[in-house]
Protein backbone atom coordinates (compact mmCIF):
# COMPACT_ATOMS: atom_id res chain seq x y z
CA UNK A 1 0.00 0.00 0.00
CA UNK A 2 1.44 3.32 -1.07
CA UNK A 3 0.15 6.62 -2.35
CA UNK A 4 0.22 6.22 -6.13
CA UNK A 5 0.90 9.86 -7.11
CA UNK A 6 4.33 11.43 -7.28
CA UNK A 7 5.28 14.93 -6.22
CA UNK A 8 5.16 16.07 -9.89
CA UNK A 9 1.64 14.69 -10.40
CA UNK A 10 0.46 16.80 -7.48
CA UNK A 11 2.31 19.78 -8.91
CA UNK A 12 0.41 19.34 -12.19
CA UNK A 13 -2.90 19.03 -10.33
CA UNK A 14 -2.11 22.22 -8.36
CA UNK A 15 -1.23 24.07 -11.58
CA UNK A 16 -4.52 23.16 -13.26
CA UNK A 17 -6.54 23.96 -10.14
CA UNK A 18 -4.72 27.29 -9.67
CA UNK A 19 -5.47 28.32 -13.27
CA UNK A 20 -9.16 27.41 -12.91
CA UNK A 21 -9.48 29.28 -9.60
CA UNK A 22 -7.59 32.37 -10.76
CA UNK A 23 -9.68 32.66 -13.94
CA UNK A 24 -12.91 32.11 -11.97
CA UNK A 25 -12.03 34.67 -9.31
CA UNK A 26 -11.11 37.20 -11.99
CA UNK A 27 -14.32 36.56 -13.92
CA UNK A 28 -16.38 37.01 -10.75
CA UNK A 29 -14.66 40.30 -9.96
CA UNK A 30 -17.17 43.19 -9.89
CA UNK A 31 -15.05 45.07 -12.44
CA UNK A 32 -15.25 42.37 -15.09
CA UNK A 33 -18.32 40.29 -14.86
CA UNK A 34 -21.14 38.99 -12.77
CA UNK A 35 -21.50 40.25 -9.23
CA UNK A 36 -24.77 38.56 -8.37
CA UNK A 37 -23.33 35.11 -7.70
CA UNK A 38 -23.70 34.42 -4.00
CA UNK A 39 -20.30 33.18 -3.02
CA UNK A 40 -17.63 34.79 -0.95
CA UNK A 41 -15.39 36.21 -3.67
CA UNK A 42 -12.70 37.23 -1.20
CA UNK A 43 -12.35 33.68 0.05
CA UNK A 44 -12.29 32.38 -3.53
CA UNK A 45 -9.50 34.82 -4.35
CA UNK A 46 -7.58 33.79 -1.23
CA UNK A 47 -7.96 30.11 -2.16
CA UNK A 48 -6.76 30.87 -5.71
CA UNK A 49 -3.69 32.68 -4.37
CA UNK A 50 -2.97 29.89 -1.87
CA UNK A 51 -3.11 27.17 -4.56
CA UNK A 52 -0.98 29.30 -6.93
CA UNK A 53 1.63 29.80 -4.20
CA UNK A 54 1.66 26.05 -3.50
CA UNK A 55 2.20 25.36 -7.20
CA UNK A 56 5.01 27.96 -7.37
CA UNK A 57 6.58 26.30 -4.32
CA UNK A 58 6.63 22.96 -6.14
CA UNK A 59 8.26 24.71 -9.13
CA UNK A 60 10.86 26.25 -6.81
CA UNK A 61 11.59 22.82 -5.34
CA UNK A 62 12.00 21.47 -8.88
CA UNK A 63 14.44 24.28 -9.79
CA UNK A 64 16.45 23.75 -6.60
CA UNK A 65 16.60 20.02 -7.42
CA UNK A 66 17.89 20.75 -10.94
CA UNK A 67 20.49 23.21 -9.66
CA UNK A 68 21.72 20.97 -6.85
CA UNK A 69 21.69 17.78 -8.92
CA UNK A 70 25.22 16.45 -9.48
- Where on the chain is the footprint of another protein (CB under 8 A)? 1-5, 9-10, 13, 17, 21, 29-31, 35, 38-44, 47
What is the DSSP secondary structure assignment for residue 37, as one 8-state letter?
-
HSE of 37, CA atoms in CB hemisphere, 13 A:
13
Residue with Cβ nearer another protein (42 or 67): 42
Q: How far is the CB of 13 from another protein (least distance, A)?
A: 6
Residue with Cβ nearer another protein (47 or 56): 47
**What's the CA gap between 50 and 35, in Å, rounded?**
22
Residue with Cβ nearer another protein (35 or 64): 35
**What's the CA gap between 67 and 59, in Å, rounded?**
12
Amino acid sequence: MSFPLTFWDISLLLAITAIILLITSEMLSPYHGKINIRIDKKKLKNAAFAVSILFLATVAIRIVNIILAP
